[in-house]
Amino acid sequence: MSIYRKRRRIRKKEAAKLEHEMIESAGICPFSHKDDIDVAEMGDMMLIFAHGKVVGLIIEGKAFPSLRGILIAEPSKKHVTVDMGAVKFLYNGADVMAPGVTDADPEICEGDIVWVKEEKHGKPLVVGIALMDGKKMVESRSGKAIKTVHSIGDKIWESDEV
């Protein structure tokens, strides 16, 4: 049974708009507007498919690479680094707590979509919504820094087709 619904192919013009939005928000786009791109609903967000993989998400009307999309081409913007102690919690879909944050893009503003990587190898773990500015995430010793919307091993990660 599929976790998403209303999957449809989008026009090249729509794909070009999504490509531009991702480049603006993340610094990269894991697909070309010339590729065949599908979108599908999943809860309150949309999934973006290219080459049979979920390579992007549309959250609150904003396009951003999914974890698979980040693995294709690492974004230069909106990144947060966490210590290794946070990794096991993030694998289980937990929100990111400020004490675990070791570094963050200073351009991050509250409400931005961000991606989280672990400090040892830089592997992506989570895509989420920033609950505080990047500078505050690093300085704060308490509180929730990022609300997780997509993590390694979740339904979006497992939904890829072959």
Strands 62-65 and 45-50: unpaired
Averaged pLDDT for residues 145-161: 87
User: 127 and 149 in contact (C-beta within 8 Å)?
Assistant: yes
Averaged pLDDT for residues 89-99: 95
Q: Are 25 and 51 in the same domain?
A: yes
pLDDT at 4: 78
pLDDT at 22: 93
Residue 41 is part of a domain; what is its CATH number? 3.10.450.120
For the chain, what is the domain count? 2
For residue 148, the SS3 value is: strand
Is pLDDT at 1 greater than 80 in this prediction? no
Is pLDDT at 159 greater than 80 in this prediction? no
How many residues belong to the chain?
Answer: 162
Average pLDDT, the chain: 92
Q: Are 111 and 56 in the same domain?
A: no
Averaged pLDDT for residues 47-73: 93
pLDDT at 86: 94
Residue 140, domain extent: 79-156
Sheet of 5-9, strand order: 5-9, 37-42, 45-50, 53-59, 62-65
Among 20, 52, 72, the domain-final residue is 72
Q: Are 50 and 118 in the same domain?
A: no
Q: Are 51 and 119 in the same domain?
A: no
Among 72, 87, 120, the domain-final residue is 72
Is pLDDT at 89 greater than 90 in this prediction? yes
Averaged pLDDT for residues 109-128: 96
pLDDT at 26: 92
162 domain-assigned: no
Q: Are 93 and 38 in the same domain?
A: no
Q: Are 28 and 54 in the same domain?
A: yes
User: 161 and 53 in contact (C-beta within 8 Å)?
Assistant: yes
57 domain-assigned: yes
pLDDT at 2: 61
CA distance between the termini of the chain: 16
Per-residue pLDDT tens for 2-16?
A: 677 899 999 999 999
